[in-house]
Chain A
Amino acid sequence: MKIGVPRALLYYYYFPLWQKLLLCLGHEVVVSPETNKEIVDLGVKKSVPEICVPIKIFNGHVENLLKKNVDYLFVPRMVSVEKGCTFCPKFLGLPDMVRSTFPELEGKLISPKIEMNSEIIAEPHCYQELKDVLNLSDKELRKALKVAKKHWLKFRSISKKGYLISEALDLVDQKTVPPFENQGDITIGLIGYVYDIYDEFVSMNVAKRMRGLGVNVVTFEMLEERIIDREVKQMSKVLFWTFSNKIFGAGMHFYRNKRVDGIIHITAFGCGPDSLLGKMLELDSEKFNKPFMTVRVDEHTGETHLQTRIEAFIDMLRKKKKKG
């Protein structure tokens, strides 16, 4: 069976797991191509105007997959991967939204409800719907999940070595992964959701661009979970969204860590959780005396503005470092 997986949203975090799972069950996995102008335009046409860019892009990928005649479309309902936290409401309602936006998807949608208290989402109860739709036995599902889990943990360990997710997605299939070496003279903490930073169309490849300018880039998924947890625990009231918490925790860690020279926050136009956590981090910038810059991206493309702003920010950091 051909199962489509849109290259959007949490694809950038969980794809190795889902890919292995579906492959082990003997299905063909069809992934939409990397985001391009055409996909964005399709998505914008299918979405309500105010919704955030990542969701618009998601709709574009769904439309693209529909044209490829997939038998099923894999759109999990991400509810929670941490006790007490959920995902942004748009993730919770995503299958409902897709179903009403694309009526032709009726009966083709597989949307297992992922509700767990751990980030390793490889428990059979999360994939009940997949089991029903594909007529699987308990044993088959459990066996496939075991393989998928191992694969995903390997992917995460590659990330933690310091590789960007775009690199880790390629490296995960190789047998040995060389250790990563940083070569830049300054270090910037790059915070933002995986689907903003690693979608090369949206972020205009900001991470690699920065590396090209001789900067070491650290992101939240390169940090150990306990580092982030420690920062998050210090808040009087934690945010409600798992990934926002990770970003906030990473941001605070970057503020405290002496090796990090500055922080860049990539956020998408219309992102709700970011509007709050961005402001919180911004207000703390003065306290820690560390430069903080927000880059807001959307479906429009203007590469030069991004290049100029990043260059200026890096120049400023270098000057500051020389002085101090």
Chain B
Amino acid sequence: MKVSFPYMGTPIGYKKIAALLGHEVIDPPKPTQRTIDLGVKYSPEFACFPMKVLLGSYIEAIELGADTLISSGGHGPCRAGFYGEVQSKILRSMGYDVDLIIFDSIKRDFLGFYRKVKKIKGKHSWRDVWYTLKFSYHTIKILDFLEQQIETVRAYEVHKGQSTKVWEMIEKKIDGAYSDAELDRVKKEAQEMIDEIKLVQVPEEQKIRIGIVGEIYVVMESSVNMRVEERLGELGCEVRRSQYLSEWVDFNLIPARFSPSREPEILRKGEKYIEIIIGGHAKQNMGAIVDYKEQGFDGIVHLMPFGCLPELISQSIMPKVSEDLDIPVLTLSLDEQTGRANSLTRLEAFVDLIRTRKNGKCIIQVS
């Protein structure tokens, strides 16, 4: 099988699974303007942005020769769980003969899940599968651990753009590591590379920390969110996201008893604003904002795809949250209209506002 999958953050984790199980992996193309254009052209007009980008990615992967596409599904109430059905219908109507394997929750449909795993497993033993999954989990853990460091040092680097370059190099190195020993070696090297980045010393009270919350796809996939993390880093802000791939796995795939996930706690914190889980990560986002405030973060950037159902509820509640917690929130709604200058100006203004707030005293003296 020639397997491919869409980007959501770095795809190294899933790539490892497919490659170790003996499939030919078609490196998924990172979404570009062409991907978006293709997706927009064939998707329903009011489908949410992630669905359009995913469809575009599938088309590009098929053009590169993929015959099997793997993605995750869901069971509502958010639309994302139904993407697969519509997308395969659209792809068929376009004349592509391709297998779209969508993994739904194992709890709901065990048999279906088992069948799909078996299809991908091929002739390998279950022991191989277990090893592969463990190895891939280990990989994404390391990736997320390193990426969080990059998100911090990017704010203070002396040579602008250096950390982003280092991160790209690290990604490539980890991509090439196919055994535990190699992975450990690469991790050490990567750590050294990060430690070598020259930093400006900034006094603790002037450091700005910003949390990015929102819909999981646009938060994790930098090519569709105007690389908001990098932009914030360039503006001198440390950044954390409410979503990391390894955390998603911790919460969704590992049984609660063994899971190190903080998500149940985050959900509890969000209860005050959204009582029940309404789909997507709306409630988690509310919790994440409370959590960020408690950790002393200075601002929140809230990303959502245009017309996202759960996030529209969050957006409606955001003014109250912001007031209650006394934390500035900037909501950016993303879609195929890339008015980059507009959003960047808003980001800059937002960071200026936070900086002014933080050094409030000096400003009063100046004026």
Contact = CB atoms under 8 A, between A and B. Distances in A.
Most chain A C-beta atoms within 10 Å of own C-beta, residue among B76, B310, B321: B76
Given A92-B278, A96-B274, A97-B317, A275 B44 contact: yes
Nearest to B83: A276
Interface stretch (A152-160, A277-285, A308-316): A277-285
B86 A90 contact: no
Given A96-B317, A273-B79, A88 B309 contact: yes
B47 A279 contact: yes
A50 B333 contact: yes
A235 B88 CA distance: 13
Contact of A237 (B85, B278, B308): B85
A239 interface: yes
A272 B307 contact: yes
Contacts of A50: 306-307, 312, 315, 333
Interface in A217-265: 235-237, 239-241
Given A86-B77, A273-B79, A274-B46, A100 B309 contact: no
Sort chain B's interface into a size bin.
35 or more
Contact of A89 (B84, B310, B320): B310
Contacts of A272: 46, 48, 79, 307-309
A93 B313 CA distance: 6
A240 B278 contact: no
A276 B77 CA distance: 13
A47 B86 contact: no
Contacts of B275: 77, 95-96
Contacts of A88: 77, 309
Nearest to B286: A96
Contacts of B321: 100
B113 interface: no
A59 B289 CA distance: 26
A100 B273 contact: yes
Interface in B63-104: 73, 75-79, 81-82, 84-86, 89-90, 93
Most chain A C-beta atoms within 10 Å of own C-beta, residue among B45, B47, B282, B312: B312
B112 to A, nearest CB: 9
A-B interface, 4 closest residue pairs, ranked by CB to CB distance from nearest: A240-B76, A275-B46, A93-B313, A100-B320
Interface of A: 47-48, 50-51, 77, 79, 85-90, 92-93, 95-97, 100-101, 103, 113, 235-237, 239-241, 269-276, 278-280, 283
Given A89-B278, A271-B46, 13 more contacts: A79-B276, A88-B77, A89-B280, A92-B278, A92-B313, A93-B282, A93-B313, A96-B274, A96-B275, A100-B321, A237-B73, A275-B46, A283-B89
